[in-house]
Copies of this chain bind each other. A is one copy, B any other.
Amino acid sequence: MADNQKVLDRVIIKFAGDSGDGMQLTGTQFTNTAAMLGNDLSTFPDFPAEIRAPQGTIPGVSGYQLHFGSVNIFTPGDECDVLVAMNAAALKANLRHLRKGGTIIANSDGFDPKNLRLAAYADGVNPITDGSLENFRLITIDVTKMTRAALTESGMGIKEIDRAKNMFVLGFLYWMYNRELDYTENFLNEKFGKKPDVLEANLKVLKAGYNFGETSETIADRYIVNPAPMAPGTYRNIMGNQATALGLIAASQKCGLDLFLGSYPITPATDILHDLAKYKHFGVTTYQAEDEIAAICSVIGAAFGGKLAVTTSSGPGIALKGEAMGLGMMLELPMIIINVQRGGPSTGLPTKTEQSDLFQAMYGRNGEAPIPVICATSPADCFAAVYESCRIAIEFMTPVIFLSDGYIANGSEPWRYPQAADLKEFKGNFITEVPEGGFLPYKRDEKLSRPWAIPGVKGLEHRIGGLEKAHETGNISYDPENHEFMVRMREAKVNKIADYIPLQTLDNGAEKGKILVLGWGSTHGAIKAAVKEAREKGMDVSHAQIRHLNPFPKNLGEILYNFDTILIPEMNTGQLCSIIRDKFMVPAIGLNKIKGMPFSTTEIFAKIEELATK
């Protein structure tokens, strides 16, 4: 490689354009190419809130952020180094996320008077010509013109030609970052194999973009980002919702029970339904119910029938499931309730992320209705976390709530995927014949779990329901002592799970010290990066990330008591913080962000620094 090339240890690129500009595809291609080269990475798409907001406007901007590097990458990144702006709206919407001195790659055709007006720039103002971007490195390319030029002889129509614009940009970026084209070429071959002219056009434009970099070398530097020191193994890239679907299928295979999904579509959970619907050959049933209540009730029916039953939704839909979740808990049937959290309250910000449904998961039911709660910390982690949720549901005969969120659901990262053979099997408490002394539907084992007696087994005919039930027999009981006993028993059963889950570990730092940053769910990456940086700067800070929110790992209290200050960053007003304060009587403090967006590393670092220097 030429020696005027700079070696960087990480780069953040934001691809932004109109919904129709193909930025998601462009981003994914660059991502996969980076992955193949051994970079560590993390991505996050940024969809418009509307189905298709008007072309050229700010609400219509679709973005894709990629953070890749030769070092370990924990988040999609804070401020970006490079902003690809296919039109004026894309620039306007994203400029504030570009670091000072960062590079803008602007498609000049997207800054014509019409686009400028749609992006609501003042009359006569054009940011790419008026010098207002002097704090940045501006690379203006007339992508449309170039693309058309490359395809003059293709015989294709203008509309079709213009659709290849994103390949030009991709090609140019491949040049800039010294990437091979072969991954994308293969992809195009597969995708357009049956349409040779479209294929050829795309390949041509991709190369044209690359060559444009080569030939006009003056306008941009080239960079090298070397492979990252990742654990050896075979990797793939995966998004959170995808990993959730795979985790469910894997669990289904490993407990030997067919998977039943009862769901009603809702952003950002719907993709799990879409995904699972493709796995019918694994015996997966996806049932699109008439509403969320029907969805969870179908799950109760399927669980009664002896299957691995799951429902997926997001906040407003979960709210509707509260009553039936109580029934599931009372019946003591296994089921998994997945909440891919989004911005609330009410309809809120459907396409944005938030962690504000923790209280709902813990307390959002009538009566004393404890349900285990588990969360995932990253896109790939959805796999393990949902697998664990299934295990607990099945082994303890209980509903389990699994919390994901819009950030990890749509974000992606490399995943050293497991081998099927390495996944631990688990099995249901099935009872297949009448035990000596007679069958007692609510007789408990050492886990306090009851037997799973499914229709079809002779002699185990029995009735269950939502009224309070007598210990062991499960018959209706209005006895006051029995009620208290059973309420305590159901609580004890959930608490018992703590004996069957791993102890809390520290992600980073000493076991005793000044500051512990305690996180849950998708804040993992940002906290990890911030704590790493703080420790590198010599601050006394450790990091623990909770997966098991109910019950907590048995040693959590011990860990907390070893620190002077507990800092809990959350994308809500402080829900875990409340629970920790209540349970452990430690004056934990919150760092709260309620902007529909994940934390940046900087934000968390700043808070740590503030606390460390106090």
Contact = CB atoms under 8 A, between A and B. Distances in A.
A350 B478 CA distance: 10
Interface of A: 49, 59, 293, 314-316, 318-320, 322-323, 326-327, 329-330, 343-350, 352, 354, 356-357, 359-360, 362-369, 465-468, 478, 480-481, 483-484, 487-488, 490-491, 572-573, 578-579, 581-582, 585, 587, 593-597
Contacts of A365: 319, 344-345, 360, 364
A14 to B, nearest CB: 15
A132 B300 CA distance: 49
Contacts of A585: 581, 585, 587
Contacts of A593: 484
Contacts of A293: 320
A367 B315 contact: yes
A369 B352 contact: no
B573 A491 contact: yes
B364 A360 contact: yes
Contacts of A468: 343, 348-349
25 contacts: A293-B320, A319-B326, A319-B364, A320-B320, A320-B323, A326-B344, A343-B367, A344-B365, A344-B366, A344-B367, A346-B367, A346-B467, A347-B465, A348-B366, A349-B478, A352-B478, A354-B367, A360-B365, A363-B363, A483-B596, A484-B593, A484-B595, A491-B573, A579-B582, A582-B582
A368 B319 CA distance: 13
A346 B369 contact: yes
Contacts of A481: 595
A12 B368 CA distance: 32
A346 B326 contact: yes
B326 A467 contact: no
A141 B481 CA distance: 33
Contact of A368 (B344, B367, B578, B595): B344
A333 B329 CA distance: 34
Nearest to A331: B346
Contacts of A314: 366
A528 B587 CA distance: 32
A360 B366 contact: yes
A350 B367 CA distance: 11
Q: Which 3 A-B pairs have the closest CB atoms?
A: A344-B367, A315-B366, A345-B367
A349 B465 CA distance: 12
A266 to B, nearest CB: 11
A556 to B, nearest CB: 16
A327 B316 CA distance: 10
A484 B572 CA distance: 9
A314 to B, nearest CB: 8
Given A344-B368, A364-B364, A488-B594, 6 more contacts: A59-B478, A319-B366, A330-B345, A347-B465, A348-B467, A368-B572
B368 A363 contact: no
A594 B487 contact: yes
A315 B365 CA distance: 8
Contacts of A356: 366-368
Nearest to A347: B466
Nearest to A595: B480
Contacts of A467: 346-350
Contacts of A350: 467
A597 B53 CA distance: 57
A368 B595 CA distance: 12
Contacts of A354: 367
A259 to B, nearest CB: 25
A330 B352 contact: no
A363 B367 contact: no
A597 B344 contact: no
Nearest to A490: B345
Given A326-B345, A345-B330, A594 B320 contact: no
B349 A329 contact: no
A466 B342 CA distance: 14
Contacts of A362: 359, 363
Given A478-B49, A582-B581, A585-B585, A348 B466 contact: yes
Contacts of A573: 368, 487-488, 491
A504 to B, nearest CB: 20
A263 B481 CA distance: 33
Nearest to A350: B467
A263 B64 CA distance: 47
A546 B459 CA distance: 53
Most B-side CB within 10 Å, residue of A314, A369, A578: A369
Contacts of A364: 319, 322, 360, 363-365
A349 B327 CA distance: 13
A585 B582 CA distance: 7
B366 A466 contact: no
A143 to B, nearest CB: 27
Contacts of A352: 478, 480, 483
A579 B484 CA distance: 22
A362 B359 CA distance: 9
A484 to B, nearest CB: 4
Contacts of A582: 578-579, 581-582
Nearest to A371: B345
Contacts of A330: 345-348
Contacts of A59: 478
A407 B467 CA distance: 19
B343 A366 contact: no
Central interface residue in A293, A315, A346, A352, by most chain B CB within 10 Å: A346
A323 B329 contact: no
Nearest to A351: B478
A92 to B, nearest CB: 13
